[in-house]
Amino acid sequence: MELAVIGSMLAVVAGTGAKNLAVDMNRRRYQVGIRLLGFTSGPWQMLPPTQRVVVRYFSDFDVSTTDGGGLEYDQASRYTILLSVPNSQQADIVTSTGSYSHAVQIGCFLGSMLGVEVVSFDRYKRQEVLQEAESHFN
């Protein structure tokens, strides 16, 4: 059973359902999905070569016209957890959450599993190191 080879699991609560993040270090892959009756749905993704884990703030700002002709503003923000690929501007998106503390928890979990540093970028693009790399995993 695949559950036997999973390095670790972290429950990611989202709304009324429960999302799970599973990392299988033996096969170098991860899975984000809904956990139901002991099984997690969702495809497995290969872990890319990872330089660091990034917790990044994103926001969407929508402006629309109301029925009365006025303007309506709506801002949605979230924190996205990324796996940064070395020597590249690309990154794999793992998951997103509306809570900064939850995003940090997920990022640090992944950083510990992969032995890489974890950094965050806030809404002003300021960088903060959240967790140093752990060389015993490399």
**Encoded tokens for 115:** 């032995």
Is the whole model's pTM more than 0.75, yes or no?
Answer: no
Mean pLDDT of 78-92: 91
| Amino acid 135: pLDDT | 65
Who has greater pLDDT, 24 or 7? 24
Structure tokens at 97: 């959450």
pLDDT at 129 over 90: yes
- 8 Å CB contact between 24 and 30: yes
For residue 35, give the amino acid letter: R
pLDDT in tens, 89-99: 889 999 999 89
Residue-level pLDDT at 90: 86
